[in-house]
């Protein structure tokens, strides 16, 4: 898994590449925690290059979302595709979080 | 339902074994004619099933997991089947209630979601206590329409 983050306006865009599984998901949580500690609490997560996510990945996503909410922040997602989209849909995460087709759409919502 | 010869892999119940089990399953699935499009779903089902065993079957941390791969048939549909076997205390993962996937974020708990994925992404899934072993067997349609 690769994790890149970039500030765009008031939002932090996080691009995750590769696989979010039981082995790599804790890294997502850890790196997201560092961004929050730096005072950024408006997250846009771009999953366009994410090939795979499991329940362990969703657990990390939910944990980060709950922490952001406690800080009056938020999280939204864009570019969901393939099995990642299916996992979000089957788990109900698609109706729990704002999901956008493109990064531009997600940024426009900020 | 299962038929034919089974291929088998035995590895320690450790997170390091996850990727080799997934690679073995993909390879065997391909030999049996599984559609490559099923790959990510198969990986998901395997991860959810194996991580449960890795985390809970052997509290002292020592034990093996045996995976078998074989072909099956459900009416006119060809299946690829996997069984995952451990020697931990009896545990029927199918006995759990499905999670509430409509609950708001504050009330969401991830427990049970992995097992829910196994049920959702497979054609059949069965748990059996065989002597001192837990055996979870699941099958997927080789080439879904």
ipTM of the complex: 0.91
Say yes or no to pLDDT of B51 above 80. yes
Q: Is B44–A56 a contact, with Cβ atoms under 8 angstroms apart?
A: no
- Spell out which chain A residues touch chain B, with contact meaning CB-CB distance below 8 angstroms: 21-23, 51-52, 54-56, 58-59, 62, 65-66, 69, 82-83, 86-87, 90-92, 95-97
Query: How do the domains of chain A map onto residue ranges?
Result: 2-105
Round to whole Å and give the CA distance between B41 and A45.
Answer: 22
Instruction: Look at chain B and report how many structural domains it folds into.
Output: 1
What is the average pLDDT value for chain A, to the nearest integer?
96
Q: Is A23–B113 a contact, with Cβ atoms under 8 angstroms apart?
A: no
Over residues A22-35, the pLDDT tens digits come to 999 999 999 999 99
* pLDDT attached to residue B1: 46
Mean pLDDT along residues A56-60: 96
Q: Which two tokens stand for residue A56?
A: 């362990």
Of the partner residues B18, B101, B113, the one whose CB lies closest to the CB of residue A22? B18
Q: What is the 3-state secondary structure (H, E, C) of B81-106?
A: EEEEEECCCCCCHHHCCCCCCCCCHH
Q: Which fold has domain A2-105?
A: Transcription Regulator spoIIAA (3.30.750)
How far, CA to CA in Å, does B127 sit from each of A76, B51, B85, B134? 38, 16, 10, 7
CATH number for the domain spanning B120: value is 3.30.565.10
* pLDDT attached to residue B4: 60
* pLDDT attached to residue B107: 84
* pLDDT attached to residue B105: 84
**Residues counted in chain A:** 110
Q: Is B117–A87 a contact, with Cβ atoms under 8 angstroms apart?
A: yes
Q: What percent of chain B has pLDDT over 90?
A: 76
Of the partner residues A23, A82, A96, the one whose CB lies closest to the CB of residue B18? A23
Say yes or no to pLDDT of B5 above 80. no
* pLDDT attached to residue A16: 98
* pLDDT attached to residue A54: 97
Which residues form the domain of B50? 2-141
- CA nearest to A59, candidates B73, B55, B95: B55
Nearest chain B Cα distance for residue A107, angstroms: 22
pLDDT band at B145 (very low <50, low <70, confident <90, very high): confident
Mean pLDDT along residues B23-30: 96
């Amino acid at each position: 898994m690769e994790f890149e983050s970039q500030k765009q306006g008031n939002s932090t865009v996080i691009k995750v590449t590769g696989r979010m599984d039981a082995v790599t998901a804790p890294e997502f949580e850890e790196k997201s925690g560092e961004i929050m500690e730096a005072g950024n609490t408006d997250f846009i997560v771009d999953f366009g290059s994410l090939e795979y996510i499991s329940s362990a990945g969703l657990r990390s996503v939910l944990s980060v979302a709950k922490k952001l909410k406690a800080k009056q922040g938020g999280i939204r997602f864009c570019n969901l595709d393939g099995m990642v989209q299916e996992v979000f849909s089957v788990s109900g995460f698609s109706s729990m979080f704002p999901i956008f087709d493109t990064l531009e759409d997600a940024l426009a919502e900020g | 339902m299962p038929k034919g010869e089974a291929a088998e892999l035995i590895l320690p119940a450790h997170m390091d074994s996850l990727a080799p089990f997934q690679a073995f399953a993909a390879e065997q699935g391909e030999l049996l004619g599984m559609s490559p499009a099923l790959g990510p779903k198969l990986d998901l089902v395997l991860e959810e099933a194996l991580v449960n065993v890795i985390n809970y079957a052997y509290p002292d941390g020592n034990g093996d997991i045996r995976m078998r791969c074989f072909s099956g048939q459900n009416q006119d549909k060809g299946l690829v089947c996997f069984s995952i076997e451990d020697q931990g205390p009896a545990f029927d993962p199918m006995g759990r209630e499905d999670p509430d996937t409509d609950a708001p974020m504050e009330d969401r708990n991830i427990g049970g979601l992995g097992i829910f994925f196994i049920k959702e992404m497979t054609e059949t899934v069965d748990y059996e206590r065989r002597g001192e072993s837990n055996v979870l067997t699941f099958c997927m349609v080789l080439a879904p329409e």
